[in-house]
Amino acid sequence: MPKFSENNKVQEVVSLIIDTGIEVSSWYQLVPTMQWQHASRWITICGTMSAFSCAVVYEIYKSGRDGNPSINRDFFKAVEDSLFRAYEQDSKLCMAPVRSCLPMAAECQEFCSKFGITEDTRVTMSMISGIIFPHRIRQGQRDWAAGFTSNSVHAPAEFAAMRLAADLAGIVTPASLVGQMARDLGIMYYGSTLPPLTDFFSKYQASS
pLDDT at position 61 is 82
Closest CA to 54 of 142, 133, 126: 142
The 10 Å Cβ neighbour count of residue 198 is 18
pLDDT at position 151 is 66
Name which residue leads in pLDDT, 151 or 83.
Answer: 83
Rg (CA), the chain: 17
Closest CA to 167 of 108, 112, 121, 114: 108
pLDDT at position 115 is 96
> What's the average model confidence in pLDDT over 49-77?
81
Task: Identify the weakest region by mean pLDDT among 55-69, 90-104, 127-141, 154-168.
Answer: 55-69
Give residue 96's identity as a one-letter amino acid code.
A
> What's the average model confidence in pLDDT over 180-206?
92
Three-point CA angle 66, 199, 14, nearest 5°: 75
The residues, any chain, with a CB within 8 Å of residue 101's CB and separated by 6 or more, are: 42, 125, 128
Q: In 66-124, where does DSSP find H-type helix?
A: 73-91, 98-101, 105-115
Report the alpha-carbon distance of residue 20 to residue 55 in Å, rounded: 12
- DSSP helix/strand/coil, 35: coil
- The pLDDT-based confidence of 81 (bands split at 50, 70, 90) is very high
pLDDT tens readout for residues 126-183: 899 989 999 999 999 999 988 887 766 557 899 999 999 999 999 999 988 888 899 9
pLDDT at position 23 is 97
